[in-house]
Structure 1
């Protein structure tokens, strides 16, 4: 009896444990809950030497805007231009532009579309590790509207993150050596719509502090994520979060980390009012350095954290909350066998448990993932770079993962269902795409002929197609639609009958009469007065 009770208690314990929600630290947990989406397309862009992709955003027309660096020297931080690349939904280049101050190194670290249809870019310009923050505003076609340079040349100042604010101005953050209390501090800069300073704040202590990411929050203030060596518990660097009001006054700050170097790279406010941060950790996980994902509440209290990666150096660089309330991370993974850097993509559920991941390996070259987003079609897009630095041959890399695209509905065919096979008739064809994508049509007439795929039409638009059948009989017209992503509908059907006429047409009758009775024409003329 005692053994039976003990057995029941053990069973109940395991049932309870396996049904509880998971919180706390989860190291390298991988649950293949959902199938990872296939790669839709992968493309590279750039010049003849080293080009970087640093930031990407989907634009209002459904395409994408990318910023980074163009024609940069492979190793020496010398020359190179801010690179901006506008592409369509398929990755085709619509326009590209380069900006910068010669002979400086110029890099566009972050780009965002603005409410006027143009773009704001944050980065740095300088030479030999003496950099200034570099802010550029361009219009929708890439024409430069204004620039700002912030900082002092003999120091290291940069801007890594920028966003248009609700008042039409801009907020940016980064690392500054020319302002603040320590060797480097977080700085937060508010500009108006024309790029003029409204205010500048710095945050930090006597150590090395800086910020990589800023976002305006739902209360009108700002959340900043970066790294602190001034206020870390272990003395080697922690993730640092700072929350401010709308004027940049600090409301609270918190450091998250262990006894080794931990770094915050990107932050986003989540739907529950809290925050999600990614970066890297040497304090936790199983490798030398792992991707770190940390979830906090609205005042910075840690709710859970998860690590991902292999045995060597891995890092998270961006995180975005997805439509299903999970998270999409982009960063770097180091191949344990070869030591090559690879693109690392991770999709998790809302508790940080891995659903699927990608490690993109291009056979011995250096690959790096800088930034990733979820796209309007439910897929994903990342930017970074790929190539061989020792050959000074590195290009901007874009990888698009397929979304949960819905195929069009089966076409509806309307028109005559019977007629004379010697006469050409017209039929109307209409289909609806659930995603409102443009539609191509294919019609099979059922007599061995078809239309091939048509040009693209707007979802719901009625098209007209005409056909004449070669002989009497019953035919089935079938129609199919596909969207611009290649998703095909089911077939639509319409049965038509082309019967043999039961009476001889009058014209055919006369021909037969004249052939049979060639002398009948004078008689007909007499009878009809012709």
Structure 2
């Protein structure tokens, strides 16, 4: 099985395992109302800010400007580059609704994956299919709803991930226990299955696929692949049955499934040890492989090469372009360590977030899986749960979750309310500085303006001759859309024929030289 390059942000690989100083906290923000707020999804936005989604029980109070609609509501919050709230939207019907995932769309708006058991009411324009359904909402750039769709079967269907696809449509993936009914065209395989739904640009269903074995299969992560297909990850209790072609290794295992562009299964892969292993994060890497991250109770057994460090460990597995395991590493302590989220970094490594329900914990690894730094952020011993981490365009990181604590330790703002989950809590970490480099060392590649409109300029560092260098611009689905030879230390590149959106700029040359920058075209 072969992955191709997708996120070119990882193209610049550090040689060795250079140590870096632990980054400082730049700012933190508490966002909520007088009731409970639970953050589930977060994504940086092209203006340097971020978009946050989750569930809320609050009425108009604190940061919440719209009335409570019933049960739980989906709550969407847009913040700027300093975490300051720009707008918020409450979305829901008369029963229980909440958002799980969000992505900024090519038109500057947002696609929100939510769940709902509400009938037609308030923001919900279509009837429940039965139990909990996928509820998909398209917002414009100001957070105004443009359309919504309810998609489901006769039982519970909960979306976990939404992504915009190259054709302008959307792919949704989550968990389903529904039989063939409603929008679900295939029978249940077991107690819980992966369920993937492809929509067009207006939210109309094009196809759906049910994937699973005879027992519990829990979806957690999806990535579109450059061939137009999809890589899905989660964890499975099933033995060989249904769509699962490899036996269980013990308890729950990591389970990967590759689909083609029409949603047909191409292959599946089981990875695990003799005990329970839970995949929580999946990213495609610039070398054509994949990085898998989760939690593990297994000792050295099966695919796990290292002994258990105590209770639940963090477990990372790197696959190469052929899908063969290159390495795996266990990280942790004698305590229960719960990995919640994974993001790639622009230096070829990654950062994973974890939580012990009282702290945020971030661990940075280089491209070979060696630990570079750790950062722990504490409140005051109440409930604090990290749910998402993401790299930012300046080389820093966002950590987002929820906390019941007031202004104490690393939390600088008071609680808005809520005794069980509290408020959204967002923390920005500054870019780390490599210990063997000066903080003022010149960048080897400068791109400006960024965002750009009709053109941008690429400027090389003074010690980088342009001989033999090539520039490639890669769009959000991994397609090379522009190629340009660099014939001088400063070159202007026209982009007026390219659509607006997020791109990766890659410069490569002799002796394996490569450098990568993220750029936004407006």
Q: C-alpha offsets along residues 331-366 of structure 1, whole Å, 9 cap, x if unaligned?
A: 22x3xxxxx532121110011111111222212112
1:89 aligns with 2:98: no
Which residue matches 1:189?
197
Q: In 1, are the aligned partners of 2:23 and 2:375 still within 8 Å (CA)?
A: no
Shift of the alpha carbon at 1:436?
6.2
- Distance (Å, rounded) in 2 between the aligned partners of 1:247 and 1:67: 29
Aligned to 1:402: 430
Choose which of 178, 187, 212 in structure 2 pairs with 1:204: 212
Partners of 1:140 and 1:47 in 2: how far apart?
A: 23
SS in 2 for 1:171: strand
Name the SS of the counterpart of 1:391 in structure 2.
Answer: coil
> Residues of 2 paired with 1:393 and 1:217: CA distance?
35
The alpha carbon displacement at 1:188 in A equals 1.1
Deviation at 1:308, TM superposition (A): 2.1
CA drift of 1:110 comes to 0.8
Structural mapping, 1:117-136, within 5 Å: 117-126=108-117, 130-136=131-137
Structure 2 SS opposite 1:159: strand
Helix, strand or coil: the match of 2:235?
strand
Residues 110 and 175 of structure 1: CA distance in aligned 2, closer, same or farther (over 3 Å): same
Task: For residue 325 of structure 1, give the secondary structure of its aligned residue in structure 2.
Answer: coil
Match in the other structure for 2:252 = 237
Match of 2:374 among 357, 364, 387: 357
| Residue 35 of structure 2: aligned partner | 49
- 2: distance between equivalents of 1:298 and 1:170? 26
CA drift of 1:313 comes to 2.1
- The root-mean-square deviation of aligned C-alpha atoms, in Å, is 2.7
Deviations 1:60-79 (A, max 9, x none): 22211111112279xxxx82
Give, in whole Å, the separation in 2 of the partners of 1:317 and 1:300. Answer: 24
The structure with the greater share of residues assigned to helix is: 1
Change (3 A) 1:407 1:33: closer
* Aligned with residue 19 of structure 2, among 33, 40, 46: 33
- Residue by residue over 1:167-217, the C-alpha shift from the partner in whole angstroms, topping out at 9 and shown as x without a partner, is 100111111100421111111111110111110011111110121111111
1 CA distance for matches of 2:34 and 2:114? 22
Q: After the TM superposition, which residues 214-363 of structure 1 pair with which residues of structure 2 at under 5 Å, given as runs?
A: 214-231=222-239, 233-284=248-299, 285-332=308-355, 334=356, 340-363=357-380
* Alpha-carbon distance, 1:122 to partner: 1.1
Q: 1:437 to 1:241 in 2, by over 3 A?
A: closer
SS at match of 1:158: strand
Partner of 2:90: 98
Is 1:80 aligned to 2:72, yes or no? yes
Q: Using the alignment, how far apart are the partners of 2:166 and 2:294 within structure 1?
A: 27
Q: Is the 8 A contact 2:20 2:432 kept in 1?
A: no
Aligned pair partner of 2:404 in 362, 376, 387: 387
The worse-fitting range, judged by mean Cα deviation, of 316-325 and 129-138 is 129-138
For 1:59-74, what aligned pairs fall within 5 Å after superposition? 59-71=45-57
Distance (whole Å) between structure 1 residues aligned to residue 225 and residue 255 of structure 2: 17
Partner of 2:390: 373
Structure 2: unaligned runs, 5 residues or longer: 1-14, 60-69, 119-129, 180-187, 240-246, 300-307, 406-416, 434-438, 452-522
Contact 1:377 1:404 in 2 (8 A): no
1:403 positional shift: 2.4
Shift of 1:235: 4.0
The change in CA–CA distance for 1:326 and 1:268 in structure 2 (over 3 A counts) is same
Structure 1 residues 501-521: Cα deviation after superposition (integer angstroms, max 9, x where no partner): xxxxxxxxxxxxxxxxxxxxx
Is the alpha carbon distance of 1:198 and 1:139 closer, same or farther for their aligned partners in structure 2, counting shifts above 3 Å? same
Aligned in 2, Cα 1:244/1:437: closer, same or farther, shift over 3 Å?
closer
1:169 and 2:160 matched: no
Give the TM-score, by structure 1 length.
Answer: 0.66
Q: Which structure's relative contact order is higher, taking Cα pairs within 8 Å and 6+ residues apart?
A: 2
Q: Which residue of structure 2 lines up, in the alignment, with residue 178 of structure 1?
A: 178
Deviation at 1:233, TM superposition (A): 2.5
Q: Matches of 2:418 and 2:140 in 1, distance apart?
A: 36
* 1:222/1:190 CA distance change after superposition, 3 Å: same
What are the superposed Cα offsets for residues 219-270 of structure 1, whole Å, 9 maximum, x if unpaired? 2111001111113523411011111111111111111111211111121110
Q: TM-score, normalised by structure 2?
A: 0.67
Provide the aligned length of Structure 1 versus Structure 2: 374
Cα gap change, 1:92 to 1:236, in 2 (>3 Å): same
Question: What SS is found at the alignment partner of 1:47?
Answer: coil
Contact 1:112–1:162 at 8 Å: present in 2 too?
A: yes
Does residue 104 of structure 2 align to residue 113 of structure 1? yes
Q: Is the 8 A contact 2:28 2:427 kept in 1?
A: yes
User: Residues 480-519 of structure 1: matches in 2 within 5 Å?
Assistant: none
1:150 aligns with 2:151: yes
What is the rounded CA distance, in whole Å, between the counterparts of 2:101 and 2:149 in structure 1?
Answer: 15
Structure number with greater Rg is 1
CA distance change for structure 1 residues 97 and 235 in 2, over 3 Å: closer, same or farther?
A: same
